[in-house]
Amino acid sequence: MGSTARVQAPARNTGNVIRDSALGVVPGTLEPYLALNAAVWDAGPLPAAEIELARLRNARHTGCVMCQAVRYDVAISDGLTEEKVQMIGADQPDTSLSPREQLLVAFVDQYNRDPGGIAATLQTDLLQEFSEAELLHLSLLVAWFNGSSRCAVALGGMPEAMPRMEISIPR
Amino acid sequence: MSWIVSGVDREQLLDRLPAISGHFRQLYTRVYSLPQVSAETLELCRLRLAQLHRSDADFALEEFPVSAQQRAQLHDWPQAAVFTPEQRACLEFTEVHAMDCAAITDAQADAVKAHLGEAGLVALLQALGVFDGLIRLGLMWQAAPAGVRQHG
């Protein structure tokens, strides 16, 4: 992993963590990027706590230290606890997670490890637990967070560790 | 055949949650018109991702025209003479990004920046994010993209 940042962020401080990041050097994608990020949180049927669990599980796969350190305030307000976050931190998630949470983690793991190899049993279990709209929401949010997390890692300059930090959705 | 909704393709599945997929598509479309990196180079990177993911349907898809020679030799691009230095730098970057984004070296990033600049590197990364995402979604959903055709 690059220890120094590979791209200089624009010299401005709008207070928006996306606009002020290296992503700000490509104005042509900035608005769609922000709109998609907001839609993932606002425009689907899954609650914020489940979105955050999936995001954090994905960040574990990509190795994004920053993504793992962040907690979105909407998820905390929705009831996400650090105890729950710890439960998805191991290779094998804690068995005291609810069946729905275990399936959510299984979906994220499958997406990262072998998207083409999803077992029929997992398909059946997902269909029993999640509605069609929830599955599409889960799919799109994982795709989005996976891509943005990979981008963050590839831009370099990621520290070895970061303290937990609570932020709002950048808009 | 998708296991989420039987008998629909990837685009039709996306259509079922337009409040999010619309923005995803907008970003996907936008990257092909960015001034920082050419649509042809991006398309070669998308096609290489399709090969790495073994998604024949995504490889058959054409989002932007590339030559038949480039398409045919893409699997062996390091030995092929039909790719420009810019394309080669981006293809090398794409391959590592697909396998382990943390394994990208400063030299590989610098090679892209030598041709595209810092903004070009960011644009490439954003494009790779949505390309990889859409390919993975199609595989995960078992739903092929619409508009696939055969290429000579």
* Average pLDDT, integer, range B125-143: 97
| CA–CA gap between residue B64 and residue B73 (Å, rounded) | 17
At residue A12, the pLDDT reads: 83
Pick the residue from chain A with its C-alpha nearest to B24: A36
Contacts 24+ apart (CB under 8 A), B69-78: B70/B44, B71/B47, B71/B151, B74/B44, B74/B47, B74/B48, B75/B51, B77/B48
Q: How far is B148 from chain A (nearest CA, A)?
A: 18
A144/B contact by beta carbon, under 8 A: yes
> Fold for domain B10-141?
AhpD-like (1.20.1290)
Average pLDDT, chain B: 95
**Does residue A50 lie within any of the structural domains?**
yes
**Does residue A104 lie within any of the structural domains?**
yes
Measuring CA to CA, which residue among A107, A103, A71 is closest to residue A86? A71
Measuring CA to CA, which residue among A153, A62, A155, A151 is closest to residue A113? A62
pLDDT level of residue B151 (50, 70, 90 thresholds) = low
Question: Where do the domains of chain B lie?
Answer: 10-141
Q: How far is B84 from chain A (nearest CA, A)?
A: 23
Q: Is the model's pLDDT at B110 over the cut of 50?
A: yes
Give the ipTM.
0.95
**Does residue A68 lie within any of the structural domains?**
yes
* Structure letter (DSSP) for residue A167: E
Domain limits at A127? 22-167
pLDDT level of residue B149 (50, 70, 90 thresholds) = low
A133-169 pLDDT per residue, tens = 999 999 999 999 999 999 999 999 989 999 999 999 9
* Average pLDDT, integer, range A81-95: 92
At residue A93, the pLDDT reads: 83
A81/B contact by beta carbon, under 8 A: no
A116/B contact by beta carbon, under 8 A: yes
CATH number at residue A137: 1.20.1290.10
Q: What is the pTM of this model?
A: 0.96
Residues contacting A92, CB < 8 A, separation 6+: none
Interface of B with A in 41-70 (CB under 8 A): 53-55
- Tokens 């025209």 found at: B65
| CA–CA gap between residue A139 and residue A142 (Å, rounded) | 5
Test mutation, B113, B136, B141, chain A, max A CBs within 10 A: B136
Interface of B with A in 110-139 (CB under 8 A): 110, 113, 118-119, 121-123, 125-126, 128-130, 132-134, 136-137, 139
Measuring CA to CA, which residue among A149, A129, A28, A40 is closest to residue B4? A129
Q: Are A157 and B37 in contact, with CB atoms under 8 Å apart?
A: no
Measuring CA to CA, which residue among B64, B6, B47, B43 is closest to residue B135? B47
Q: Are A9 and A163 in contact, with CB atoms under 8 Å apart?
A: no
**Does residue A17 lie within any of the structural domains?**
no
Residues contacting B3, CB < 8 A, separation 6+: A118, A120, A123, A127, B141, B142
Q: Which residues of B touch A155 (CB under 8 A)?
A: 121-122, 125
**Does residue A8 lie within any of the structural domains?**
no
> CB A63 to CB B23 under 8 A?
no
At residue A121, the pLDDT reads: 98
Structural domain count, chain A: 1
A128/B contact by beta carbon, under 8 A: no
**Does residue A11 lie within any of the structural domains?**
no
Residues contacting B49, CB < 8 A, separation 6+: B58, B94, B98, B128, B131, B132, B135
Test mutation, A3, A109, A136, chain B, max B CBs within 10 A: A136
At residue A77, the pLDDT reads: 97
DSSP H stretches of helix in chain B: 10-15, 18-31, 39-52, 56-60, 68-73, 85-99, 106-141
Q: Is the model's pLDDT at A18 over the cut of 50?
A: yes
**Does residue A7 lie within any of the structural domains?**
no
A26-75 pLDDT per residue, tens = 999 999 999 999 999 999 999 999 999 999 999 999 999 999 999 999 99
At residue B152, the pLDDT reads: 44
- Tokens 């003479």 found at: B81
* Average pLDDT, integer, range A107-112: 98
B56-76 pLDDT per residue, tens = 999 999 999 999 999 999 999
Q: Which residues of A touch B108 (CB under 8 A)?
A: none
Q: Is the model's pLDDT at A106 over the cut of 70?
A: yes
